[in-house]
Structure 1
């Protein structure tokens, strides 16, 4: 996410929360670029959308499938949902 005067606020209409890509951490940028490349390959390339809403629906469906089923090497071959759940469980305090 870029910061600066004159830049628009990030679009959150697709239900995502913008995150900062930290300086001097190029691997973060690579992950983001890979996601958008995959999105374009899976959803956009070779398709014509009648309306902007049709495009949004296709992107939403891809994101839901990606988060639930796409196995990410960086996540230990877990889907984003499974990795987030693993992270949340690890952060929970242990019951006494």
Structure 2
């Protein structure tokens, strides 16, 4: 049982690192941000959902809140990308993606 617990903890830590890293990378996307964000956000949501579903009752509150914080950090980074866009069409598309992402977090 201890090995299963350690394995689950490692997977959750990897998920948290992945979400954190993506929140940093998304702000640095310079080429084709709309296309890249459209592909990556569903994956990040899936990572967050899978990580949260693998929790036991003992860890669930702390780690679930950390997962949610990382998903919110992605939304904040995406908001920064939206503000940097010069082309109105791309800006509007990114704002729409951000809106849908935020709704999925609820």
TM bracket, shorter-chain basis: under 0.3
Question: Which structure has the bigger radius of gyration?
Answer: 1
Larger RCO, structures 1/2 (Cα 8 Å, 6+ apart)? 2
Q: Could you tell me the TM-score, scaled by structure 1's length?
A: 0.28
Q: Could you tell me the TM-score, scaled by structure 2's length?
A: 0.26
Looking at secondary structure, tell me which structure has more helix per residue.
2
